Amino acid sequence: MTPTRWTKRDLWPSIGTATGGLPVMKIGSLEHRDAFCSHFARTYIDYDPETLPWPVLDEAADCLEGLQDAVNGDYAEQVKTRDRSGPPYDQQGTAILLNEACKLLRAFETDSEVSVQRLRELLGPLTTQKAVYANVLMDERGTPTDPGLGLLRFAMGRLDDGATLRAQERLDAAPSLRTLVEEACRLREEWRRDGPGRLGDADLFAFFLKVIDDTNLGNQRIPPDTDWDKLGKLKDRNLLTLGLA
């Protein structure tokens, strides 16, 4: 069966695109090679855990070091330093050194500079950073010729209904920020490899990524200079929702 040929006049794209789209680039051409090599040379360390900026923990480290010093120190000696060689009890009948010992324990728990509570306050925000960073990685779009997870997720989600959910589960399961970045890098390379195979046409997959990018992930109209024959092929594969003008 011959695929339907669509024209601009026949169709109204629901995923639309911006008017300033990138020029069409033939996969495997010298221009494609040069663009790929140039971008790789500029960005190859973007996902390298050794060069990524990690959260700064200096203040938390200082607080933890202070707590460790307090724990490792001789507690009895700390109390003795507060002995003023006076009477053992104050005017209210409270044991003076016992009261000083209680103050030390309270400071260890709640002091504004070095305490368990202060360390908890410093580390608390980091408990959500893995999820935040996972979202940042998933939203990084890249370009049609060097796609990031943002563009690939949009495309793979239409080629495989469960792809996005499985990807999110993989990133959520990462035990640390380092392993999260490494898993995101593996996922990106897998989608770059598997996408053309699922569509059965590497050139059409590259065009699909370009349409996704041109349309700002489906939020704008397709530009008038789009290759409508290729757009029709995507429509025939139910990858685009198109309506009559």
Decide which of 126, 155, 185 is a domain's last residue. 126
Number of domains in the chain: 2
Does 149 lie in the same domain as 238?
yes
Comparing 93 with 176, which gets the higher pLDDT?
176
When pLDDT is cut at 50, 70 and 90, the band that residue 16 belongs to is very low
Q: Is residue 217 part of a domain?
A: yes
Distance CA 83, CA 99 (A): 11
Does 197 lie in the same domain as 86?
no
SS3 188: helix
Question: pLDDT tens-digit profile of 109-150?
Answer: 878 777 888 777 777 776 777 888 888 899 999 999 999 999
DSSP state of 95: B
At residue 36's C-alpha, the angle toward residues 223 and 214, to 5°, is: 15
Does 150 lie in the same domain as 29?
yes
**pLDDT over 80 (residue 34):** no
Residues 27 and 195: beta-carbon distance below 8 Å: no
Element (H, E) at 245: none
Q: Is residue 239 part of a domain?
A: yes
Token digits for 61? 């480290």
Decide which of 126, 151, 182 is a domain's last residue. 126
Q: Is residue 50 part of a domain?
A: no
Hey, how many other C-beta atoms are within 10 angstroms of the C-beta on 13?
A: 22
pTM, two decimals, is: 0.55
Distance CA 184, CA 187 (A): 5
Q: Is residue 236 part of a domain?
A: yes
Distance CA 42, CA 7 (A): 39
Question: pLDDT tens-digit profile of 46-71?
Answer: 656 566 555 556 677 777 777 777 66
SS3 89: strand
Distance CA 60, CA 121 (A): 9
Q: What is the DSSP string of 47-73?
A: T-TTTSPPPP-HHHHHHHHHHHHHHHS
Q: pLDDT value at position 115?
A: 80
Does 145 lie in the same domain as 234?
yes
Hey, how many other C-beta atoms are within 10 angstroms of the C-beta on 154?
A: 21
Does 230 lie in the same domain as 147?
yes
User: Structural domain of residue 80, as residue ranges?
Assistant: 58-126
H-helix segments, the chain: 30-43, 58-72, 75-80, 96-110, 116-123, 129-139, 149-159, 163-172, 177-199, 202-214, 228-236
Decide which of 109, 126, 143 is a domain's last residue. 126
